[in-house]
Copies of this chain bind each other. A is one copy, B any other.
């Protein structure tokens, strides 16, 4: 199948598939005489794997590792679990940061009357010399 159909089947844009091939995340696709890339179901399976891992927030580099582990019959499940737990820890950090930001912004927004008058505690808060 052509790249367009592989894109459809994998859920990745064609551009992204070419990009992944460029950076060596997925192996180069077979080519027809015309030069068109030619994908089989096995290739699509790999693309779907990558699409799902990216969708779960794994970086491209992590996807590379996960793919290698996936295709390694002798892999240890522990390696995969470790990668996954590291990613969970990063997500937890990110969530905590965002929640702190949200709290600060919410505090600022609640203290602001929001009318047409120019006095605004949000700007005052941002302008303060000390971080609360």
Contacts and interface: CB of A to CB of B under 8 A. Distances in A.
Contact of A126 (B66, B104, B119, B121): B66
Size range of the interface on A? 35 or more
Given A56-B101, A126-B53, A74 B106 contact: no
B129 A48 contact: yes
A48 B126 CA distance: 8
Nearest to A11: B131
Interface in A27-75: 45, 48-49, 52-53, 56-57, 66, 69-70, 72-75
Contact of A88 (B78, B80, B105, B112): B105
A123 B57 contact: no
Given A70-B123, A74-B118, A81-B112, 20 more contacts: A48-B127, A49-B126, A52-B126, A52-B128, A56-B101, A56-B105, A69-B120, A75-B118, A75-B123, A77-B113, A77-B115, A78-B116, A80-B123, A81-B122, A82-B114, A84-B105, A84-B112, A88-B102, A91-B101, A94-B98
